Amino acid sequence: MKDLLSAASALVFLAGIAHAQTAPKMKMTTPIPDSIITPESVETRLGTLKFNDGFPDKATSEKLYDNLDFMRGVEAFLNAMPGASAEAIRVGIASQGADNNQTILIFEDLMDSRSLFLTGNTESIYNLMWLDTKAGPLVIETPPNILGMIDTHWFEYVGDVGNAGPDRGKGGKYLLLPPGYKGEIPEGYFVLRSATYGNLFFWRGFLEDGSTKIAVENTKKFAKVYPLSEADNPPAMKFTNISGKEFNTIHSNDFHFYEEVNHIVQYEPNEAYHPEVLGQLAAIGIEKGKPFAPDERMKKIMTEAVAVGNATARTITFNTRMKDAYYYPNSAWFTGFVGGSYEFLLQPGVRYLDARVLFHYYATGITPAMAIKRVGIGSQYAGATTDSERKPLDGSKTYKVHLPPNIPAKDFWSFVVYDNQTRSMLQTDQQFPSIGSDKKDLVVNADSSVDVWFGPTAPEGHEANWVQTVPGKGWNVLLRLYGPLKPWFDKTWKPGEFEAVK
């Protein structure tokens, strides 16, 4: 059948050439290369495209413009998704009162599965703010012993604070400048320049002896944000405990996605993001200073485009074809930083597009500190969405994972289980769908290896080392190593695969 179609296409092409060559020979006529001739009829995945000596007929023009708008809608989803993710966080934390520069949301009792966050953890104390510099520069005072970052409204890196920042975990004063700021910069600050007015600021404190107390106290004592113009008399901070609160911070996967992105385009300077992406957005009606009001035809196309964009991002994330995403041959364990670059660069000047999609569809926050390989410092991550037979992890089944002896984590390690749909913590009967080395009753084998079970019910005798899943729900998992050691980086230590238990 394919051969017949190929032959038919060839005949159509030749017929087109023959038609073009029936034109009378003129004084300036020269031989025209076949490769630049458009035939009268072309068979494509869009159907038959028809031309009159290279000029598209009305039906072909309509078909191609529909397709062009559709393609740009899909590309807009894939390329503007980081911004939509940041915008969804802005809206989500604003719902909890963090809609100004003086409110800090604290997970005083850790994050659990009630709050919808892309791949959050259950082992550190999250603190969240949305910073807006439209009124001028902001001073930021940070607590000691934190890992923190500031990202733009388009979810691009601005700077680190805390242990990975210039204050080296001692706490410090930072000055966040708005886009294009040309005013005087006083001394005594670590200076951060953002391309956007809106910025996500979040940091993690750490458990001490299993308690959140010291980290929470440090935030309330030392964390401050205030306008530079009010440095002599800073306004009071407000602290809100949001542990156990129900709210969403995940971008939409339907038409509302484009409305989320439109808010960023209208609020932020055009210079804050890539011209090609803003061009894609403008082509589908999202343009600064203009209302976003697609007609019925365009809304229908964009509704389909966002569905295909979401499906594409989901496939890249859960069933990626990027071979360099996997840590080991024939293994399910993959990295969120494919290529090892927090900017997702294959080489200087070349963006690894699928790598960026995978990370931002799956995770929150961007900083080089998450991608840099530093022995004993920071954290490393490995995700898995499939079992040892490369089948999707099934909430109805029971799985066992073996962590070999001498798990290479100086500080601690953990597994957290996530819902495939939301990429947030899986909602089960357990408050924290996780397990790790800080669990007091964790059973460790005599050789220091650990076996962990995942399934709807605890296998008899292994209750302490079990994480619950939900029948009918797909799930995935992140293995975190805090203070990763050399055997992790040189791959002499390797986590086991998810083995289905009969």
For residue 383, the domain's CATH number is 2.60.120.600
Give residue-wise pLDDT tens across range 426-459.
Answer: 999 999 999 999 999 999 999 999 999 999 999 9
Q: pLDDT value at position 445? A: 98
Q: DSSP strand E in 314-392: where?
A: 345-347, 350-351, 379-384
Q: pLDDT value at position 20? A: 46
Q: Same structural domain for residues 85 and 118?
A: no
In a 3-state reduction of DSSP, which class is residue 76? helix
Rounded CA separation 137/176 (Å):
6
Q: How confident is the model at residue 353 (pLDDT cuts 50, 70, 90)?
A: very high
* Structural domain ending residue among the three candidates 248, 275, 292: 248
Q: pLDDT value at position 378? A: 80
Q: Same structural domain for residues 262 and 165?
A: no
Q: How confident is the model at residue 15 (pLDDT cuts 50, 70, 90)?
A: very low
Q: Same structural domain for residues 256 and 381?
A: no
CA angle 406–408–410, rounded 5-degree value? 110
CATH number of the domain that residue 208 is part of: 2.60.40.1610
Rounded CA separation 358/351 (Å):
13
In a 3-state reduction of DSSP, which class is residue 473? coil
399 pLDDT more than 90: yes
Q: Same structural domain for residues 308 and 423?
A: no
Q: How many domains does the chain have?
A: 3
Give residue-wise pLDDT tens across range 122-173.
Answer: 999 999 999 999 999 999 999 999 999 999 999 999 999 999 999 999 999 9
Tokens of 99: 């809609």
Give residue-wise pLDDT tens across range 232-285.
Answer: 999 999 999 999 999 999 999 999 999 999 999 999 999 999 999 999 999 999
Residue type, 188: G
- Rg (alpha carbons) of the chain, rounded to whole number: 27
**DSSP summary character for residue 464:** G
Q: Same structural domain for residues 294 and 193?
A: no
116 within 8 A of 250, measured Cβ to Cβ: yes
Instruction: Work out whether strand 350-351 and strand 379-384 pair parallel, antiparallel, or are unpaired.
Output: unpaired
Phi-psi region of 128 (alpha: psi -120 to 50; beta: other; left: phi over 0): beta
- By residue range, what is the domain housing residue 266? 57-96+252-318
Tokens of 134: 């439209």
Nearest Cα to Cα of residue 342 among 375, 372, 364: 372
Residue 358 lies in a domain: no
Rounded CA separation 140/171 (Å):
10
Residue with tokens 């930083």: 337
Residue 436 lies in a domain: yes
Residue 349 lies in a domain: no
* Structural domain ending residue among the three candidates 248, 274, 300: 248
* Structural domain ending residue among the three candidates 318, 343, 362: 318
Q: How confident is the model at residue 290 (pLDDT cuts 50, 70, 90)?
A: very high
Q: How confident is the model at residue 3 (pLDDT cuts 50, 70, 90)?
A: low
Residue 153 lies in a domain: yes
Rounded CA separation 231/402 (Å):
54
Q: pLDDT value at position 10? A: 46
Residue 474 lies in a domain: yes
